[in-house]
Amino acid sequence: MYAFLAWLQTHAEGLPEHRIANIFEPRSTPGDMERHIANLTLGITGIIFVVVGGLIVYTIWRFRRKPGDDSRQEPPQVYGSNQIEIAWTVIPILIVFILIGVSARVIAAIQNASPPHSTLKIRLIGHQWWWEVEYPDFKVKTANEIHVPVNADGHTATYLQLESLDVIHSFWVPQIAGKTDLIPNRVNYMWIDPKEAGIFFGNCAEYCGTQHANMLLRLVVQPQNEFNAWVAQQAQPAEANPVDPGVAQGKNMFESLACVNCHRVQGTTATGVFGPDLTHLMSRQTIGAGVLPMNHQNLRDWVNDPQNAKPGCFMPSMKLTDAELDQVVSYLESLR
């Protein structure tokens, strides 16, 4: 089993990790359009900065009072000039109109794009402080990690339907696209089409309470065939009758604890919806929306006391004995 874990890890590491989420290195069409307009804006404002800033500095330097100056002598009193006023009103108006025009175009291009045919649909639901990810077409539910296929042929966009069950959250994977909020009692949509395989880092970008800082997100972009395999695997229910006696014992323990009130493990009596779906827990790279990397020790620590790693989070410390803990964890580790 540890061999499998190790394989998983290398598998995960097989994809390049983009920890540094630079908005100027986009890997998706919306992000790319945003970078273009960002560069244009930066260019224009950069020029304005140099010209106006230069003028200010020059004026201060040129007209500063020098030591030898007669302090009683006043400079010529100038009250203003209409021509000049008009000039520096009209020029900025022209610049602003350029920016408005460009913005309008990009806004429309990103927001009003209609979905291409073969579109993957994902329902993303924000919770304090984790992400519920649902693939309605495949009846798959997972958490904190979004898997999407690479957009190789230009036709595989992914549509995200964004919702929230408690407070406002915001979806932001900087290298893929700008953010869109997840708002309770409202449904938002956005689309992405990552063009390169890799793991892209993101965060919840709207303050949503104590653990907003640890509401991290990973977008795993895979080649289509790997993605298909992943989906097929995720659609499997968990083993109903594990053969390994240790795991079977763990399963009984797990099902006898309060875990089942909050967590779902498909194919078992655990049907809770308050916490993340655990059916394929071990296929994820992190625990608790990115606070801990997934490994045996961390998982054990998490189940022992989640408040340690993620103080304030809504999973209580379950106060298990060491033996119970070992059993539960060995069961969890069978949930690939």
Partner 1 sequence: MASIDYPLERPDIEDTGWHFAENLYRWIATVDHKKLGLMYIVSALIFLCVAGVMAVVIRLQLAFPNGHVVDPDTYDRLFTMHGTTMVFLVGMPIVAGLSNYLVPLMIGARDMAFPRLNSFGFWIFLFGGLLLYYSYIGGSGLSGAGSAPDVGWFAYAPLTTKSFSRGHSVDYWALGVLVSGFGSIASAINVIATTISLRCPGMTLSKMPMFVWVMLVDAWLILIALPPLSAGQIMLLLDRYLGANFFNTQHGGSAVLWQHIFWIFGHPEVYILIFPAFAILSELVPIFSRKPLFGRPAMVGAVVAIGFISLGVWAHHMFAVGMTSWSNTFFAASSMLVGIPTGIKIFNWTATMYGGRIRLLTPMLFCCAFLLQFLVAGLTGIMLAVAPFDWQLHDSYFVVAHFHFTLAGGLVTALFGGFYYWYPKVAGRMYNETLAKWHFWLFIIGFNLTFIPLHFAGTLGMPRRIYTYAPGRGWEIWNQLASLGALMQAAAVTLFAWNVIYSAIKGEPAGDDPWDAWTLEWGTTSPPPEYNFEKLPVVRSSRPLWDLKHPNDPDWKYE
Report the site for ligand HEC in 267-286 (rule: CB under 6 A). 274-276, 278, 281, 284
Report d(CA 28, CA 320) in Å as an integer.
45
Contacts of 233 (CB under 8 A, 6+ apart): 280, 283, 336
- Helix 322-332 to helix 296-304 angle (10° resolution) is 130
- Shortest gap between Cβ of 50 and ligand HEC (angstroms)? 47
For residue 216, the minimal CB distance to ligand CUA (Å) is: 10
Task: Please name the amino acid found at residue 19.
Answer: R
Of 54-62, 88-96, 235-243, 264-272: span binding ligand HEA (CB under 6 A): 88-96
User: Applying CB under 6 A, which of residues 215, 217, 221, 315 lies at the interface with ligand CUA?
Assistant: 215
Shorter beta-carbon distance to ligand CUA: residue 143 or 204: 204
Give yes or no for residue 181 binding partner 1 (CB under 8 A).
Answer: yes
Q: Which of partner 1, ligand CUA, ligand HEA, none interacts with 129 (beta carbon under 5 to 8 A by kind)?
A: ligand CUA
State yes or no: residue 256 binds partner 1 (CB under 8 A). Answer: no
Q: Does position 114 bind partner 1 by CB under 8 A? A: no
Report in angstroms the alpha-carbon separations of 134 from 140, 275, 278: 6, 14, 13
274 binds ligand CUA (CB under 6 A): no
Written as one string, the DSSP assignment of 107-152 is HHHHHSPPPPSS-EEEEEEEETTEEEEEETTTTEEEESEEEEE---
Contact flag: residue 16 with ligand HEA (CB under 6 A):
no
Chain centroid to CA 237: how far? 27
> Between 30 and 288, whose beta carbon lies closer to ligand HEC?
288
Closer to partner 1 by CB, 205 or 247: give it: 205
- Strand, helix or coil for residue 299: helix
Binding mask 287-306 for ligand HEC (x = CB under 6 A): xxx------------xx---
Query: 167, 122 in Cβ contact below 8 A?
Result: no
Q: Which residues are within 8 A (CB) of 170 and not within 5 positions of it... i.e. 6 or more apart? A: 179, 180, 181, 182, 204, 205, 206
Name which of 211 and 330 has its Cβ closer to ligand HEA: 211
Residues 6+ apart with CB under 8 A from 101: none
Q: Which residues of 161-177 are buried (b: 16+ CB within 10 A; e: fewer)?
A: bbbbeebebbbbbbbbb
Region 95-154 residues binding ligand HEA, contact defined as CB under 6 A: 95-96
Phi, psi of 163 (to 5 degrees): -140, 170
Residues 153-212 that bind ligand HEC (CB under 6 A): 211
Q: Which of 140, 259, 265, 270 binds ligand HEC (CB under 6 A)?
A: 259
Q: Answer with the entry of ligand HEC, partner 1, ligand CUA, none that 192 interacts with (C-beta below 5 to 8 A by kind).
A: none
The one-character DSSP state at 264 is B
Burial zone of 40 (CB within 10 Å; 0-12 exposed, 13-18 middle, 19+ buried): middle
Count of residues in contact with ligand HEC, rule CB under 6 A? 30
Binds ligand HEC by CB under 6 A, chosen from 47, 252, 258, 297:
258
Please pick, from the candidates 146, 204, 217, 325, the single residue that binds partner 1 as defined by CB under 8 A: 204
- 38 is a site residue for ligand HEA (CB under 6 A): no
- Strand, coil or helix: 3: helix
Centre a 10 Å sphere on the Cβ of residue 49 and count the other Cβ atoms it contains. 11
Q: Which residues bind ligand CUA (CB under 6 A)?
A: 126, 129, 169, 204, 206-208, 212, 215
Q: Which residues bind ligand HEC (CB under 6 A)?
A: 129-130, 143-144, 211, 257-259, 261-263, 274-276, 278, 281, 284, 287-289, 302-303, 310, 313-316, 318, 328, 332
